[in-house]
Amino acid sequence: MTSDEQLRILRVHPSQIAERALVVGEPKRAAAAAELLENAAEVGSYREYVTYTGHYKGKRVTVASHGVGGAGASVAFHELFEAGVTTVIRAGTCGAAISGLIVATGAVRADGTSDKLVPLAYPAVADYRVVHALHEAASANGYPDPLTGIVLTKSFLYPGIIESDMDMWFEKAGVVAVEMELATLLVMAGIRGVRAGGIFASDEGLGAQKEKESGYDPFHKGLQESTQAMLPIAFDALVALE
């Protein structure tokens, strides 16, 4: 692909994409993140995919929204990698048993997408340099020692008639959070040699309690505050990586 060819879905020219990218689910969160950049410009918008590029602490950075779920998010990830992104951090919200910020070391591949790209034996692992950079940035921003561990990436939000397995994942398998896109990102990044990781904002009560799928409230004050704190941490980690 040349810099003159527009990415098919993101509707962005590769030359408008930085090597460092922050990805978020919600277009409004992408806009909020872009407000932290210098000289930020919206370079693409189509459906749930909105893309901005600017500078953070002197380094060129792209922010892109990817929507909900692994299948749709994989479209954004594929095109970002195609455009030359070499380091990517997902900054998202999650369900967890604690409030605050969570750094992922890896993800359970229940996303419903990554198993169509590479066998399930392939792990969804965050790059150790990204994990370290996120810890350093969190500490520098007043959040020392954030909860760290494996998150569950699942393919649905609301439960159906199949009994929930959340107790198994949280209480027996040691999963620290649940979200919907990280495993897809980590697997796609892994098979392309891209450095990737994730940081998540959580609010107490969204976690291992019973039927938390139906208890998620994206407008909860505590969750909104954690999300605002998460963005500069993610950017600091992103630009710290050489």
Instruction: Please name the amino acid found at residue 183.
Output: A
> Which CATH number describes the domain made up of 14-240?
3.40.50.1580
pLDDT at 68 over 50: yes
Active site residues: 203
Residue ranges covered by each domain of the chain: 14-240
pLDDT band for position 212 (cuts 50, 70, 90)? very low
**Position with higher pLDDT, 150 vs 97:** 150
Q: Whole-angstrom Cα distance, residue 9 to residue 133? A: 30
pLDDT band for position 211 (cuts 50, 70, 90)? very low
pLDDT at 236 (0 to 100): 98
Q: What is the DSSP string of 171-224?
A: IIS---EEESSHHHHHHHHHTTT-EEEEEEEE-TTSSSSTTGGGT--TT-HHHH
Q: Whole-angstrom Cα distance, residue 239 to residue 57? A: 8
pLDDT band for position 94 (cuts 50, 70, 90)? very high
Given a contact cutoff of 8 angstroms between Cβ atoms, the answer to whether 178 and 200 are in contact is no
**Helix, strand or coil, per DSSP, at residue 225:** helix
pLDDT at 98 (0 to 100): 84
Return the closest-CA partner of residue 95 out of 222, 184, 3, 185.
222
The mean-pLDDT minimum among 48-52, 62-66, 164-168, 187-191 falls in: 164-168
pLDDT > 90: what percent of the chain? 81
pLDDT at 1 (0 to 100): 58
3-state secondary structure 59-94: EEEEEEECCCCHHHHHHHHHHHHHCCCCEEEEEEEC
Return the closest-CA partner of residue 157 out of 103, 110, 218, 216.
216
Please compute the mean of the pLDDT values over residues 98-126 and round it to a whole number: 97
Which token pair is 62? 């792209």
